[in-house]
Structures are given as structure tokens and as C-alpha cells.
Structure 1
């Protein structure tokens, strides 16, 4: 077996320890071109046993580092290096995101010779001082142009600054833009630029790949792809899309049409991505729908067809996509479906790569030339016959639990077994159903067994709910009033001194004063007067809220009316006229006395009624409070009458006791 041109030209230079820039077409064996020199620079215990190295040269720190842009490429390079270093027992570890930190940290503690990783996770572990890069002797940047396109250049520069100044650096890629050359000039010492091509291979693409370009409508593309996948001689197939949503949608549609399909894109967790790739390598899935994350370095044997469902962004992406087939000297077929909107983009790619498809032919799923060029049997439909559905499918591949970090991979990760909870030792509190404040007997819970035995027994009688009383006045016992109202008021023995006290009113309310006698008692039981004996006084009943109650003055048999301090305005005029001379002093005095008597007997603007007062009761006028419109209240008493205190800011009235 002869080596590939890139391997034949690179191995002598790389084994001598010089810096190398290797450029070759995809699928021509670049991995072993830098992998074999890398493994030779690593010191392992087998070298000490053979006498090629000293024991003090052995170390558990990594001695070689390979930086790759994608996780899929990281796993593939790791597998290739493990295969090549199996004879010397070289320890190779893959470090990339999407996996748990703990297994990678444990592997670093045990000792590693070669590390293959992505820039993000390498910086994380190095920043935590879990990864020691001070013993690295060789550095390889694989697919360096892709790392620059993904924005990894600052991370790569940080990693390079952590390495020893004296080392070997190698850059390998299918394309070498100017940024990669500038990176090489800064961090490489007199590198050797090697560009290897086969003598019979002209142009940018591989000669073993047969390319077909069709102009297709976006709504007819799923049907076209389903018919292309039934072409004769078709093995494994890869379908590339520009967006993650399109990749997921096409994979789902193909699965409904009967094809064993899987998907690889950024929205899937790392476990699901690796599951799809393992199923594709093992033959359980024969159609892999993916984005450009799988367009770099993925080497799967048996890939015969590559379909560009959507036109790539640039010519480099096109080269890497179609490079998944026709690898290691095998033949392959590359099919590109260009939409009407993608014609200008495709024309730029066609010109850059010097292809022969400037104006693709308009093609549909029923076009005869589609069946002829791709060797599709006549009469093929867009659904795979049931007799040809022989693949196990994606579900047959086990989904590995990687302990993924982040939120995107949680839905695809395998369920993690959780510890069983201990049995409940405490009886849960039962909720008691009540209706109107009383417990419903039918739904009442059974007594809890955890209560102490000496606890008092609960009351079995239903509890009467406490009704909320919206009042502002304190309740007054009604028993004395009821006894007084039950029988008519009779003549009783004289009382030495009876004073009726009114109930204090709440603040800032417009209520009226309590009266000395109960209104209901007066109406239902008429007063029977007796000579020379007073009547029994009944205690006042509390008034309802916001009602207009009337006062009942104590009956007076013989009352001495005391003239008011100030005469009314009409009396003043009579007195003034007497002084002037219109009336004589005798007639004026008589008229003044008559006016006083009439004024005393006349009620003063009051709606309240009066009854006869007790004998020998004197009525005293209460002085008016300041700035109030309250009136006086007369209370019946044998010897003395006490004035009731007025509430603050209320509008009350007074009632004078009439003469008998």
C-alpha cells in the first residue's frame, strides 16, 4: 500500500522536527500526515524499555496537542491516533464541550500523552489549572481555516501563549486563506509550505467525484431527494443543509417516507449527535442529514452520495461537503440542488472552482434526465417500499449519557436514575371540610393515629359560626328592657333620685341622644297617672344605627317654668317700643309676661313629643356648646337634673318639658 502524496511529502519534514504547513484536498490522508510524526515525538514507557529514552523524560502531563474546530472532528482524530499508537500504547484523550467535566479531569489526573480538543474546553480546563500545557513539544492546528471562520482565532492565540516557546508547530487544511498564513508567520519558525496533489488530479475538486447540479424548486426538493436515495448502487448518503431547522425537518420527512435517517446539527445535544454518527458508521442508519458541522474531517467508509439540499455559502464549504465521498481513492456522486434565489451565489462558486455548471438545468422530481443521469429506476416514487426497509434505524443505537452541560442537550440526554425517596413516617395533615363553619360529618376525616393517647377528646357538637356584626355601638343587655315592656307601666313608690344616663355615641357619627324612657313601652302601655306619686323610670334601650329616634321627656304635673335668659327678637321690639312711648310701662310689662308664658309653652323647632312630668320637677336649660346646633335635654328627677354630655361634632336637638 503506497502513501498518499501529502503523506509522502510531509512525513520526512515533520519527523525532522521542522514546522510544516500542509495543504491538500479533503480525503487525501492529512490526519496520518501529522499524526505519525506527532506520535513519534511522544516519550512512552516502551521507549525507556527499548533504550531510546531516559526514565526522567517520562511525565503524566500531555506532550502533544491537536486543536480542532468541531466535536465530530475531535472524536474522529482521536480514534485515528488511538489506532496508530496502539502498538506503542500511547494515551490519547479527547477534550471537547457537551460532556461532563469530571471524567475528563479524572483522565488528566491519571496521565495523558496526546490531547485532541476544541478551543473552548481546552481554555476552561487550563484556566482551572486542571490542564498543564507546559510540557507540550508539538502543536497541530487541524482545519485551521475553519477555526478562523468560526471566530476561534483569539482562543487559539491564548492557547499558543500557554505553550513552551521551543516546540514544533504544524498547520493542516484543505484551503489556506491569508489569515492562516499570517498566523503561521507569527507563531511558526521558518515553516515549510507543502501543497500536495496527484499527477492526474487537476482542479480544486477530487477527480473521483462525479458532480451534478440541478435547478430545483424548494417545494419539490423532498420528493426529488426521496427518489435520488432509491438510485441503483446507492450506499450511505449524507444530506447537507444550511440551517438547523431545515436539517431537522428533512430528517423527519425522510423518516416518514420509510428511510432510516438521522440528524446532526447544533440544536441537538452531544449525546444525540454521537448517537446519530455511531448509527451511521455501524450501518443502522443509511441517511445522515446534517449541517456544516459534519462537513469537516468526517470520514465514514461507504459514503457514495452527497446531496447539497441547499446551496453552500462559499466555495470552501462546497469542497468540504462533497469531500465526504470519494475518499481514499473511492468513487462518489455529489448532487447539488440550487433554488432560484441561490443562482447568483452558485454562479460565484462555479466561477471560483472553475466548474462547468454556470446555468443549472431546471429539474423536477418527474424530469426524465434526473432518472437517466443518476441511474434511478423508472417508476420510482417518493416513498421507500416496505420490502426495502431493512435498516434498524436510529432507535436501535444506544443513547449514551454524557453528563451534558447546558440546556440544549437535556431533552436528548438519557434519563438519569434517581435515588428512591424514603418512606413517609409522618401522617400527612388531613384537610377538614366545613360548611357554614361546621364540619361536614360525612366528609370528616378519620382521627390521626399519631396524636397522643392522653389528648382531650374533641367536641363532637357542630360549632356555631360566629356572625360578623357590623356595628359601632357596644351591645347592651336587653333583659331589663324586656321585663319593663312585658307589663304595662304601673304606679310605683316615689323614687328618691332617678337619673337616666345616655349611652356614649361613637366619634364622628350623626346620631341622636338616648331618651329617658323606652318608646315601645310608652306606645304599648299607656301611663296611668296617680296623685302625688311619681312614675317608675325605665332604662333607655340602645337605638338602632342611623335612625331618627325621638325623645320623651319626663311627665310634669306641676312645673315652674323659668324664663329664658334672652327674650326673642319679637319681645325685644315690644320692650324697645315701650321705652319710646308707644305703650305704657304697665301694658308693656303685661305683654312681656304674656310673651314669656307663651314662649315657655311653645315647642322650639322640634319634632319630638313630650309627656307630663313628675310633680315638683324643675327644668333647667343647658347652655349651648360652642359652634354647634344642639338643643337642650330635660330629664325628670325629684330633686336634681343632670345634663347629658354632648358628643363631639354631632347635630342633636333639645326638648323642653311642657307644663302639666
Structure 2
């Protein structure tokens, strides 16, 4: 491994709150203002927006036997007191629909398949209850190496979260840093549950222990990830390929997994990961005494059928809104733009809008580089991200976008799923996606958690395969239907609600 890779500050190596033995006398750690700003600052963390109250109007349906009731306030949820403190710190005030039902279902130890709109708080919906359960049981469950046996030690995660992309893996890791942050360290000391990052062993009075969380994904330095695992790992976020590799290297043991979570589950099972996931779940020693949770904004019928292979027969299906629907907080504009006119049109849109973070989706890696170069030559601050860029370049591009150094990001589908960046006000489909599900995930990078956003899409003769579904979505969300799509408007514009097999 070259020196730059070995010393790079990977997303999986970001700072966490740490407890040190010298803090014991005062029972509280000193504040880390810089880290607090990184985790909870206005500029780094997406907070609920002005349209948050619209969530009350979204229909919710839970299918299955004896589902537990939801709750209206986080104070009423069956969560560890330390987790409730962290929720307040993260400024989660009122639970979104997926949170109020998902958290209740997970705390009742039921398997779950959940489908909810993009930007509706699904990550917190699974991190909050699973981390809370560990706070209450950590002393009995955690596994650590003896001081002289780190090299032969296998990490035994209690929570395993699988994500389809490296970028989403890093984002979930960031969110886990928030929900397991310093507030539970401070207050847990008096509750005899100390999250002690530096001392992995129980202290003499039995109060000091660690909850470690790690992220492992391809492209980043594997040696550093192995060192993290050798310290112990209780909450593991992983991409399937790197996870499989580390299991085969003897660095991870899945026999203690209490919660298996598939984020963007339909994508996981439909983009070639299904054989790897099946191998990990069925043939790598994973505990059968686990809760399995699946989340996505879209769940095609055939993928739901496949997903059942991993769930208990009495699983629950949570549907928030229509399966595969999107939020009305996104203003959708569809323009007829010929291929040769797209560059001029995207420049026109960028100049006509107030300066804001803008995410531009293209179909190919070559197109991403080409459009990025064109925007750069047009004196517009852009960067690009796609699968051919190495992991350092990908993480640098996202960081520049988040910080506003390069507020225009040209991307392939690598960031279409789950990526949650504050103040993405405009999404542009330079190339229309092939399916309505992909369209929904792309435009869902804006208008997060009740905030408003704009999605502009370039349509031409090469996009007719998605025309009918896009028209239906525009009608469903009460958006303007352009003249060239009006021929697809019929008396029945409802999407087929194919739940008959649930």
C-alpha cells in the first residue's frame, strides 16, 4: 500500500468520542467542541424542515400478525435513557412515520421489511432501537481480545448493517457516531454502563466497558480496517464484498449477530449482491437467533419475494405512503432537451438558480468526467464521483461537495441511494434513469426530512421507456405535466399497489 493511502483520513477512521480513565474522577469527559460541530452542527447535519408537519398526513400501514403500536413522542418509546438523551442532542424532536413504527417493531424483536419515502429518516429508524438495545445488554454481550492475542482475535459484531455502496456505508457510520455519541458516555457512567473507548475490559467495579463501531468497505486501506476490528467491533457497517473478504481472512465471526440490517435492501438484492449476501447469511455461521431488518424507498414485488428468504415467517411489512412513492416537497420539472443541447441547458439552469448545492446525475463514468470538465471550463465550481475514481478521490469529492468548496457534484448512480447531504437544493437528471425506482432515489437526494427541493430532468426520445411512469408520478405529486408528456395522461393514473402477496 502506498504511503498516501496508509495515511489518508478514511471515512471509516473518523473521530469518535472517547472515554479515558483519567476522566473517572469527575465522571464526565471534557467537551470536544470541534467534534460536536462535526456531528451536530447546523452545516453538517440535516435537521427537519418547514414541511415536517406534512408527515402527519402520510398514510401508514403495517401488515402482519400482532404488530406493536407506534408512539407519538420519543419520550414514550421503549428506549434506553442514554439513547433518549442522544436523540435530543441530535435534535430529533418528533418521530417520522417510519421511525415511530419501526422503532416499536424492532424493540419488540420482530423482523421487518420497511418501505418509506426518500429522506424520511430510515437510517435513524434502525440505528436508534438497535444501539439502544446494546446499551442495555452490552456487559453480557461484548467480545474482546486478550491483551496479547489481537492478531488471532475475530471481531464478533452484535449489529451488522449492509449497504450497497461505499458512500452509503460511510454515511451510516457517521450517523452511528451521532446516536452513540458523547451524551451516553457522560450519563451512562452514573448508570453503570460506561462506553469506554480506550479500555476494552471491565473495571474492578464492573462499570467500565466499550461499545465499538466500525465501517469496512472496498477501496479503502484494508490494513487499517483490520486493526480497527482487532480492537473489537459491536456495530459493523459493511459493503458485502469487503465483509466477505474479511470473513474469509478470519477477522470477523458472525455467530453473535443480534440484528442484521439491509439498507437499500432492494438494491442490495437486485444489483448482483444477492449471491454474496446469501452466502454470508446462510453459510458463514451467522446466528439464526437474530432480528432481520430491511429498509428502502422502493421495493419491487419480485424483490420483496426474494427478501422473504431472509426473514422469519411472522415478519411485518411497514408501508409509509405508496410503495415506491416520493415526497411532494420536491418540485419536479421535466424539460425536453436534445442530447446536443444538454450542456447548454444545464449551464443555463445552474446560472439561473441562486447558488446552491446541486447534484447532477449522468449515466456513464465518461459522461461524468466530460461534464465535470465542461463545467470547470465554464468557471463553475464542480467535481465528480463515479466507480472508476479511486476511493480517496471519491471521498475527497463528497467532502468538497459537503463543505461547499465544490457545490456542484456530477455523479453516476453511485450516490443515488441513501446519501444524505445538507442543503442539496437542486437535483438535475442530465440523463434520465432507466426505471422509475431509480428516478425516485435520484430526486430523493433533495427535500430531506421535510425540507423543500427542486428536481430538473432532461427528457428526449431516448427516455420514452420511463415516460408513462414519470407522468404518473408527476400527477400523483400534483406537479406540472409538460406538454410532451400529456399524451401519457389517462383516466387512471394510479400506480399498481401490488401488495396482494404480502
Q: TM-score range by the shorter chain?
A: 0.5 to 0.7
User: Which residue matches 2:310?
Assistant: 187
CA–CA separation in structure 2 for the residues paired with 1:257 and 1:77: 35
282, 304, 310: which one pairs with 2:431? Answer: 310
349, 360, 364: which one pairs with 1:243? Answer: 364
Contact 1:41 1:138 in 2 (8 A): no
Q: For residues 286 and 331 of structure 1, do their structure 2 counterparts lie closer, same or farther at Cα, with a shift above 3 Å needed?
A: same
Contact 1:72 1:298 in 2 (8 A): yes
Structure 2 gap ranges (5+): 1-92, 145-155, 186-194, 196-210, 487-502
The structure that has the greater radius of gyration is: 1
**1:27 partnered with 2:119:** yes
Q: Cα RMSD between the aligned structures?
A: 2.1
CA–CA separation in structure 2 for the residues paired with 1:202 and 1:95: 31
1:585-640 deviations in whole A, cap 9, x for unaligned?
xxxxxxxxxxxxxxxxxxxxxxxxxxxxxxxxxxxxxxxxxxxxxxxxxxxxxxxx
**1:342 partnered with 2:342:** no
User: Which residue matches 1:66?
Assistant: 161
CA–CA separation in structure 1 for the residues paired with 2:323 and 2:469: 20
296, 302, 311: which one pairs with 1:173? Answer: 296
CA–CA separation in structure 2 for the residues paired with 1:251 and 1:173: 30
Structure 1 position 230, deviation (Å): 1.7
Structure 1 segment 173-572 matched on structure 2, within 5 A: 173-189=296-312, 190-197=314-321, 204-351=325-472, 354=475, 357=481, 359-360=483-484
82, 88, 96: which one pairs with 1:4? Answer: 96
Structure 1 position 344, deviation (Å): 4.1
Structure 1 position 178, deviation (Å): 2.6
Structure 1 gap ranges (5+): 363-660
Q: Structure 1 length normalisation: TM-score?
A: 0.51
Structure 1 position 361, deviation (Å): 7.9
Contact 1:203 1:353 in 2 (8 A): no
CA–CA separation in structure 2 for the residues paired with 1:58 and 1:122: 20
CA–CA separation in structure 1 for the residues paired with 2:306 and 2:353: 47
Structure 1 position 67, deviation (Å): 0.5
Contact 1:325 1:331 in 2 (8 A): yes
CA–CA separation in structure 2 for the residues paired with 1:181 and 1:92: 29
Structure with bigger RCO (C-alpha 8 Å, 6+ apart): 2
Structure 1 position 128, deviation (Å): 1.4
User: Which residue matches 1:596?
Assistant: none
1:542-599 deviations in whole A, cap 9, x for unaligned?
xxxxxxxxxxxxxxxxxxxxxxxxxxxxxxxxxxxxxxxxxxxxxxxxxxxxxxxxxx
Contact 2:269 2:307 in 1 (8 A): no
Which secondary structure does the structure 2 equivalent of 1:10 belong to?
Answer: helix
Structure 1 position 353, deviation (Å): 6.8
Contact 1:63 1:135 in 2 (8 A): yes
CA–CA separation in structure 2 for the residues paired with 1:111 and 1:280: 33
CA–CA separation in structure 2 for the residues paired with 1:23 and 1:347: 22
Structure 1 position 186, deviation (Å): 2.2
Contact 1:24 1:173 in 2 (8 A): yes
Structure 1 position 182, deviation (Å): 2.4
Structure 1 position 317, deviation (Å): 0.4
Q: For residues 21 and 353 of structure 1, do their structure 2 counterparts lie closer, same or farther at Cα, with a shift above 3 Å needed?
A: farther
Aligned residues: 351
Structure 1 position 77, deviation (Å): 0.5
Contact 1:308 1:337 in 2 (8 A): yes
Contact 2:120 2:449 in 1 (8 A): yes
Q: For residues 308 and 165 of structure 1, do their structure 2 counterparts lie closer, same or farther at Cα, with a shift above 3 Å needed?
A: same
